[in-house]
Amino acid sequence: AFVAAVSGLIDEADREFGERPNIGISFAGGLDPQTGAVISANIPAIKGWLLAVELSAILNRDVLVANDADCFALAEARTGVAKNARTVFAIILGTGVGGGIVVDGHFIGGRSGIRGEWGHGNDVTGGLIRNGLAPVACGCGNTGCLDAWGGARGLENIHAQISGNRTTSFEITDAWRTGDDHATRSLEIYCDLVSRELALMVNVLDPDCVPVGGGIASEESLIAKIDTMVRQRVLGRYDAPLVVPGRYSRDGGLRGAAMLHVIANAQGSQ
């Protein structure tokens, strides 16, 4: 079903534009750097697939595949808010949390294919308990990962525990702008959790820019608040904003995917 859906979309685009170009795909998951197999994905059915190889055979053209946060980082580093920046750590605050690292306009390598995944392996349990919140299990199986709290789903969970009512992240931010007590408290906790973990990544990577994508990036005042908190916590001095809404906060993954072959061809010609 997955292959049929992808093939159908590509066939439709071929007919619309009258061309059969090579294909770039961004997806929420990681790739084994040795084999190219999908090692984690939000579509369980494709785990273990040689996605690029299988789609290339079916579509009869070259297909390149990369993580969606990596593609977002690539788009922002090449033509977005981080254009001309040497080191870019782009983050996605969507349903969960994602991240991509680009240096000098290219992805950095990695042993396991999960570079930039700053939403996992950390433990925000202390911050939750300090604020009277009950930890929940992350989708990866661990407890305390920022991924369970740093995206829209996490904000909704915080607000539900604070207020006793479950509502959407958009409704929470709307209420925050009107001064609602529960929304204000929820976003204070949310920004505290995110900024603490992000400050650690900034200390490690020392990026020139941290573009933000995903639904929460549309709340510029919220991103500005996170930026202020991050810059207060890091060791380095950042006089100008560091954490900023991405130019392509909604479609950066698509734009980055479209750049994959351009970069591959440029590297091949060197």
pLDDT in tens, 68-120: 999 999 999 999 999 999 999 999 999 999 999 999 999 887 888 888 999 99
For residue range 194-240, list pLDDT tens digits in order. 999 999 999 999 999 999 999 999 999 999 999 999 999 999 888 89
Q: Which is higher by pLDDT, 28 or 226?
A: 226
Shared domain for 34 and 81, answered yes or no, is no
Write out the DSSP string of 34-103: TT--EEEESSGGGTT--HHHHHHHHHTS-EEEEEHHHHHHHHHHHHSTTTT-SEEEEEEESSSEEEEEEE
* Closest to 94 in 3D by CA, of 264, 246, 265, 201: 246
Residue 254: inside a domain:
no
**Domain range enclosing 26:** 2-67
Query: Where does the pLDDT of residue 268 fall: very low under 50, low under 70, confident under 90, or very high at 90 and above?
Result: low
Q: What is the pLDDT of residue 2?
A: 83
Give the mean model confidence (pLDDT) for residues 144-154: 95
Shared domain for 232 and 107, answered yes or no, is yes
Q: What is the pLDDT of residue 196?
A: 96
Query: How many other CB atoms are found less than 10 A from the CB of residue 265?
Result: 11
Residue 168: inside a domain:
yes
Spatial distance between the Cα atoms of 86 and 102, rounded to a whole number of angstroms: 8
Shared domain for 135 and 124, answered yes or no, is yes
Q: Kindly tell me the burial class for residue 235, based on how many C-beta atoms sit within 10 Å of its own C-beta (0-12, 13-18, 19 or more).
A: exposed
Residue 268: inside a domain:
no
CATH assignment of the domain containing 76? 3.30.420.40
Put simply, whether the predicted model's pTM sits higher than 0.95 gets the answer no
Q: Which is higher by pLDDT, 16 or 45?
A: 16
Q: What is the pLDDT of residue 41?
A: 77
- Asked if the model's pLDDT at residue 145 lies above 70, the reply is yes
Shared domain for 213 and 89, answered yes or no, is yes
Shared domain for 203 and 233, answered yes or no, is yes
Shared domain for 38 and 89, answered yes or no, is no
Shared domain for 138 and 59, answered yes or no, is no
